[in-house]
Amino acid sequence: MLNASICTIGDEILIGQIIDTNSSFISKELNTLGIKVKFMISISDDEDEIISNLERCINSSDIVIVTGGLGPTKDDITKAALAKLSKSESSHYDPGQYEIIRERCNRRGIELSQLNKDQALVPDSCKVLTNNHGTAPGMLFTIPKEGKASNTLLFSLPGVPYEMMGLMPKVAEKIKTEFYIENIYHKTITTFGIPESILAKQIESWENELPKEVKLAYLPNPLVGIRLRLSIYGGSRERSIQLVDSLLNDLKKILGDSIYGEDEESLESVIAAFLRKNSATLSTAESCTGGKIASLITSLSGSSDIYKGSVIAYHNDVKFDLLKVDKGLIDKYGAVSKECVIEMAKSVRELMKTDYAIATSGIAGPGGGTTEKPVGMLWIAVVGPDFCETKSVVLSGDRLRNIDRFSSEALNMLRLKLGIQLI
Amino acid sequence: MLNASICTIGDEILIGQIIDTNSSFISKELNTLGIKVKFMISISDDEDEIISNLERCINSSDIVIVTGGLGPTKDDITKAALAKLSKSESSHYDPGQYEIIRERCNRRGIELSQLNKDQALVPDSCKVLTNNHGTAPGMLFTIPKEGKASNTLLFSLPGVPYEMMGLMPKVAEKIKTEFYIENIYHKTITTFGIPESILAKQIESWENELPKEVKLAYLPNPLVGIRLRLSIYGGSRERSIQLVDSLLNDLKKILGDSIYGEDEESLESVIAAFLRKNSATLSTAESCTGGKIASLITSLSGSSDIYKGSVIAYHNDVKFDLLKVDKGLIDKYGAVSKECVIEMAKSVRELMKTDYAIATSGIAGPGGGTTEKPVGMLWIAVVGPDFCETKSVVLSGDRLRNIDRFSSEALNMLRLKLGIQLI
């Protein structure tokens, strides 16, 4: 099976200042193409490190994808290292990329500096993949493997995720013209509500009887729940689909409504799809989640069809003034209470004239907890045309994790109430 | 200088299903300790791959940190590979971790299964770092380097970020008792509003005159702006601080109010600090940003002191009903207009009785753009006790990137209006 390695370059990754999201995006794309990623490595902006690690990548992989170190600034040295590695003795200005750089500067009213121009300078040994979203071109080098007859395709892409993503279709096209590609089939289903060890116990006998070409992985995530991924490497796509479908049918019988979606689906996306199908709308009233639920829903393209808005009632005054929560009620029960979230949800549903509403109030921490109402405590209400239900949970985590898990708990409560599950 | 490598294990990383955030967190911690991270590698749940890559890590680093593959489920095989690698012939139940597992199951009303118990089973060759946040213990192995007299410390930690983070202080403690550690000093300053190539041009002569032991890096981020990082490896901490301070003073003269913060500071954190200091409050009215600004602010611990809330007016009805935006005005100018954001900002400021307010309305895409109002167009208003200002920008990016950049543009506009800069 065709394999690849990914190398991301940049001191900012190694000192932990940025999280490398490029490797993940690239590996997803390569997997879709049927290429197995053997390893990903992140290294510093150091010529020796770049060359020695890329040599290792080249000798162990059919395809190498490198990102980063192509910026206009002095700390970026990938291009020089690649020229050396590909034994290129001279370089030239790529006319296509040069034109894009000139145009970008023009449009922004920026003078075309030497730094800008030099972004179009490439080693003669490479083929250019024009970058329409930025100034640094993608480059393709064909490099012989040490002691072998075959070559490795090495792609160098900009480190800016948006620019790298724009170039990936061109990378895929080049790979497809150069190699015959075997299948990889992945299918993921998404569960929410069962802790990992209990889930593992529940599906133990199903897991034990999986055919040996099928690999299972558990992927927990605070926003999504636990995803279960089945992978089949090689074989025909049709057979893989058939086999996985039949295995998933058995799994659905075991896990029931805990399974809510597949592949990239999230709690918010399955809720949005349900609402769209039923021409229904949703609003939210968020205290402790502070806009996270709104933000998750509005990240979905087209969410304006089904989502009207939110009142982020972070301060109690907003609960009183905008959501008309009774002050006496908060004095008596507190803002983190069943009574408060019921009022919040009913009120926002009415104010925004929606079919459904979710309200949250809790203590994300680190401060603010008491013995009775500890950090990690959350009250949720979901209301609809003919129901009003509440739930409380106590979670353990830091502030950001609590906000994420509060949000997914609230979305999951609505999801269950709407009867959404994978059938 | 003491160096380290980080190895994250899990098929889910290599197929791009999750983004590896552990490496970034760990490298930040190691850098703070004065340990240089040479490389980070991600590999699959495959025993041969694990052993061969860990051997490489051990032979090239003083410290190796491994995460992942310690779950209770069958796909997790790191522990077996480590037992082999450290030539451990037998294993035992660690009483401390066993007790935590028993207690956790108890508290959740879950039966203590064999899978749970086996989480406490560790090779005899390791020292256990008790994991208080989960079931899989951290493990420390001391492994001789091939052909050298020295040993490598190999730490194996759970892959769940929250659990890994909880164990890092114990890792740091062990490292400090085993090694003498040299200094690494990093200082980052944060700029917003100048594109990278112009910034580079502006600071070119300053950059050319940097002492050669000082390394500069540019780190662009849609939410934060462009961060500039100065790094000094080795030398005394006092001298490094002094040198960096003097270099930064010169830089501030060049970049003026584009520099707003340092290290981990963000637009929202410097605004929150300013508001707290001035006992002032903020509210927001968000259309296209859909709660992202609220979510950024409420991610800050203690934000309830300065942030009262938001009206997410995603649907125009919410703009009319809650924010009392004049319907005629939207008919005439559209929701993405100067007139609309002024009304939104003034109205939310009044409704929530805050000193300042921000409003956003724009087109995040991918659909919804016109020639006059293209995808990427944003109107912002910021209002205060004695000002009301608006601004429009047109950005290019996909939906999520646009939402991020819209949010930071809006926050930056308030930041500048409040006169917040790094002095």
Question: Per residue in B189-216, pLDDT tens?
Answer: 999 999 888 899 999 999 999 998 898 8
Question: Confidence class of residue A386 from pLDDT cuts 50, 70 and 90?
Answer: very high
Asked if A229 is an interface residue toward chain B (Cβ–Cβ < 8 A), one would say yes
- Average pLDDT (A340-357) is 98
pLDDT (0 to 100) of residue A33: 86
**Alpha-carbon gap, residue B313 to A308, rounded angstroms:** 7
Does one domain contain both B22 and B168? Answer: yes
pLDDT (0 to 100) of residue A390: 98
DSSP string of B149-172?
Answer: S-EEEEEEE-SSHHHHHHHHHHHH
Is residue B336 in some structural domain?
yes
Residue type, B177: T
pLDDT at B249 over 80: yes
Does one domain contain both B120 and B41? Answer: yes
Nearest-by-Cβ selection for B310 from A281, A298, A312: A312
Using a cut of 0.90, tell me whether the model's pTM lies above it. no
Does one domain contain both B123 and B191? Answer: no
CATH of the domain at B310: 3.90.950.20
Q: What is the pLDDT of residues A295-332, one digit of tens each?
A: 999 999 999 999 999 999 999 999 999 999 999 999 99
Question: Confidence class of residue B157 from pLDDT cuts 50, 70 and 90?
Answer: very high
pLDDT at A387 over 80: yes
Does one domain contain both B287 and B230? Answer: no
Does one domain contain both B213 and B169? Answer: no
**Alpha-carbon gap, residue A31 to B253, rounded angstroms:** 49
Do the chains contact at A307 and B293, CB–CB below 8 Å?
no
Other CB atoms within 10 A of residue A56 CB: 16
**Alpha-carbon gap, residue A260 to A416, rounded angstroms:** 9
Instruction: Give residue B207's domain range.
Output: 185-262
Tokens of B409: 């543009």
Asked if B406 is an interface residue toward chain A (Cβ–Cβ < 8 A), one would say no
Do the chains contact at B397 and A227, CB–CB below 8 Å?
no
SS (H, E, C) A273-341: HHHHHCCCCEEEEECCCCCHHHHHHHCCCCHHHCEEEEEEECCHHHHHHCCCCCHHHHHHHCCCCHHHH
Of the residues A120, A152, A178, the one at which a domain ends: A178
Q: What is the pLDDT of residues A141-169, one digit of tens each?
A: 999 888 888 899 999 999 988 899 999 99
Of the residues A144, A178, A212, the one at which a domain ends: A178
**Alpha-carbon gap, residue B15 to B30, rounded angstroms:** 27
**Alpha-carbon gap, residue B73 to B56, rounded angstroms:** 27
pLDDT at A71 over 80: no
Using CB atoms within 10 Å of the CB of residue A194, give its burial: 0 to 12 exposed, 13 to 18 middle, 19+ buried: middle
Do the chains contact at A18 and B221, CB–CB below 8 Å?
yes
Nearest-by-Cβ selection for A217 from B11, B160, B397: B11
Using CB atoms within 10 Å of the CB of residue A419, give its burial: 0 to 12 exposed, 13 to 18 middle, 19+ buried: exposed
- Average pLDDT (B355-364) is 97
Question: Confidence class of residue A182 from pLDDT cuts 50, 70 and 90?
Answer: confident
Do the chains contact at A314 and B309, CB–CB below 8 Å?
yes
Do the chains contact at A71 and B218, CB–CB below 8 Å?
yes
B355 Cβ neighbours under 8 A, 6+ residues apart: B275, B280, B281, B282, B349, B384, B385
Is residue B32 in some structural domain?
yes
Range from A109-118, A272-281, A352-361, B359-368 carrying the lowest mean pLDDT: A109-118
Nearest CA to B216 out of A422, A77, A41 is that of: A77
pLDDT at B293 over 80: yes
Question: Confidence class of residue A220 from pLDDT cuts 50, 70 and 90?
Answer: confident
Question: Confidence class of residue B396 from pLDDT cuts 50, 70 and 90?
Answer: confident
Nearest-by-Cβ selection for B12 from A201, A229, A367: A229
Does one domain contain both B151 and B191? Answer: no
Q: Work out whether strand B282-286 and strand B356-362 pair parallel, antiparallel, or are unpaired.
A: parallel
Asked if B17 is an interface residue toward chain A (Cβ–Cβ < 8 A), one would say yes
- Average pLDDT (B89-111) is 90
**Alpha-carbon gap, residue B117 to B296, rounded angstroms:** 40
Nearest CA to A399 out of B301, B295, B164 is that of: B301
Is residue A423 in some structural domain?
no
Helix, strand, or coil (residue A106): helix
Is residue A109 in some structural domain?
yes
**Alpha-carbon gap, residue A378 to A344, rounded angstroms:** 14
pLDDT (0 to 100) of residue B184: 80
Asked if B59 is an interface residue toward chain A (Cβ–Cβ < 8 A), one would say no
Does one domain contain both A195 and A128? Answer: no
Nearest CA to A407 out of A199, A197, A221 is that of: A221
Chain B residues within 8 A of A36 when measuring between CB atoms: 14
Q: What is the pLDDT of residues A13-67, one digit of tens each?
A: 998 888 899 999 999 999 888 899 999 999 999 999 999 999 999 999 999 999 9
Is residue B305 in some structural domain?
yes
Asked if A15 is an interface residue toward chain B (Cβ–Cβ < 8 A), one would say yes
pLDDT (0 to 100) of residue A193: 93
Is residue B274 in some structural domain?
no
Does one domain contain both B17 and B166? Answer: yes
pLDDT (0 to 100) of residue A140: 97
Other CB atoms within 10 A of residue A41 CB: 22
Does one domain contain both B257 and B232? Answer: yes
Does one domain contain both A37 and A147? Answer: yes
How many Cα neighbours within 13 Å face the side chain of A339? 11
Asked if A23 is an interface residue toward chain B (Cβ–Cβ < 8 A), one would say yes
pLDDT at B417 over 90: yes
Using CB atoms within 10 Å of the CB of residue A295, give its burial: 0 to 12 exposed, 13 to 18 middle, 19+ buried: buried
Does one domain contain both B243 and B192? Answer: yes
Number of domains in chain B: 3
**Alpha-carbon gap, residue A6 to A29, rounded angstroms:** 12
**Alpha-carbon gap, residue A86 to A147, rounded angstroms:** 16
Do the chains contact at A353 and B321, CB–CB below 8 Å?
yes
pLDDT at A73 over 80: no
Nearest CA to A356 out of A338, A382, A381 is that of: A382
- Average pLDDT (A401-415) is 97
Is residue A269 in some structural domain?
no
pLDDT (0 to 100) of residue B248: 95
| 8 Å CB contact between A69 and A127 | no
Chain B nearest C-alpha distance from A390 (Å) = 20
**Alpha-carbon gap, residue A7 to A28, rounded angstroms:** 15
Provide the percentage of residues in chain A whose pLDDT is more than 90.
76
Strands in B88-213 per DSSP E: 91-93, 121-123, 127-129, 138-144, 151-157, 184-191
Asked if B200 is an interface residue toward chain A (Cβ–Cβ < 8 A), one would say yes
CATH of the domain at B124: 3.40.980.10
- Average pLDDT (B261-273) is 96
| 8 Å CB contact between B308 and A315 | yes
Nearest CA to B296 out of B287, B307, B288 is that of: B307
pLDDT (0 to 100) of residue A383: 98
pLDDT (0 to 100) of residue B32: 81
pLDDT (0 to 100) of residue A61: 95
pLDDT at B95 over 90: yes
| 8 Å CB contact between A99 and A38 | no
Chain B residues within 8 A of A49 when measuring between CB atoms: 38-39
pLDDT (0 to 100) of residue A8: 97
B16 φψ region: left (φ > 0), alpha (ψ -120 to 50), beta (else): left
ipTM over 0.95: no
**Alpha-carbon gap, residue A136 to A134, rounded angstroms:** 6
A169 Cβ neighbours under 8 A, 6+ residues apart: none
| 8 Å CB contact between A240 and A183 | yes
Q: What is the pLDDT of residues A221-234, one digit of tens each?
A: 889 999 998 989 88
- Average pLDDT (A340-367) is 97
pLDDT (0 to 100) of residue A349: 98
pLDDT at B244 over 80: yes
Chain B nearest C-alpha distance from A251 (Å) = 16
Tokens of B388: 């009301």
Is residue B273 in some structural domain?
no
Helix, strand, or coil (residue A164): helix
pLDDT (0 to 100) of residue B217: 82
Of the residues B115, B144, B178, the one at which a domain ends: B178
Nearest-by-Cβ selection for B218 from A75, A113, A403: A75
Do the chains contact at A72 and B197, CB–CB below 8 Å?
yes
pLDDT (0 to 100) of residue B108: 74
Does one domain contain both B205 and B297? Answer: no
Matching residue, tokens 């970049």? B255
Asked if B114 is an interface residue toward chain A (Cβ–Cβ < 8 A), one would say no
Which is higher by pLDDT, A229 or A280?
A280
Nearest CA to B422 out of B281, B209, B215, B274 is that of: B274
Q: Quick one: which H or E segment has residue A394?
A: strand A387-394
